[in-house]
Amino acid sequence: MADGLFDQATSERLFSDLSYAVFVAPGGIVVIWMVWRVMAWSLFHTAVVTAWVGHLPTVFSLPMAVGLLLIAWPLLLLALVAWILIRLFPGLAVEQGQAPRLFARNTSPALSHVFLFCVALPLVFVPMRYLADRLEGPKILFWHWLLVLGPIAVLVIWLIARLRQKQDWRSRL
């Protein structure tokens, strides 16, 4: 009944889910980047508001803090997550005293290359899937996976080489 690790239905479902993920990947990268921007913005403005409330007399600061907590708790949660991420990955921190801009252009070459990689995935994946369907038919077997996913390994190698080349180029400056 089962051929290898998966039966036919599981293999087809996994392959279909992978196909969907390939098309959603560029949008996912953009959404992650936007959420990070909102988290960094929330963290910065939480620090500004906290400093402002801290300078008020206690009679005013305590009700103001409770009111802000009740109104802005989603932004505070985003700020907390951003604070934790910055503690884990210090390279994500915004420079001291700089306000993060929500709608700023992306200046990270690594993020740009990852996005371009995700945009190129469907351009490679779709023709290879069509070719595999023509050669092997509707059954999803090992060779089907190899034919479709093999070129993606080449793209991953290109991405890593490109990022290292950029890193080496910047280190020489």
Q: Is residue 168 part of a domain?
A: yes
| Two structure tokens written together for 114 | 């990852």
Same domain, residue pair 97 and 110: no
Last residue of a domain, one of 104, 122, 155: 104
Same domain, residue pair 43 and 77: yes
**By C-alpha distance, which of 73, 77, 78, 98 is closest to 36?**
78
**By C-alpha distance, which of 107, 115, 113, 123 is closest to 165?**
113
Last residue of a domain, one of 104, 129, 145: 104
Nearest-10 Cα torsion for 155, 91, 49, 46:
50
CA distances from 25 to 19, 51, 86, 115 (A): 10, 39, 24, 8
Same domain, residue pair 68 and 97: yes
Last residue of a domain, one of 53, 71, 104: 104
Number of structural domains (the chain) is: 2
Per-residue pLDDT of the chain (173 residues; tens, 9 = 90+): 445 555 666 767 777 777 777 778 788 887 888 888 888 888 888 888 888 888 888 888 888 888 888 888 888 888 888 888 888 877 767 676 666 666 666 666 777 777 777 777 777 777 777 777 777 776 766 667 777 777 777 778 887 887 777 766 666 66
Q: What are the residues whose beta carbons fall under 8 Å from the beta carbon of 158, sequence distance 6 or more? A: 117
Same domain, residue pair 147 and 134: yes
Range of the domain at 137: 105-173
Same domain, residue pair 100 and 110: no
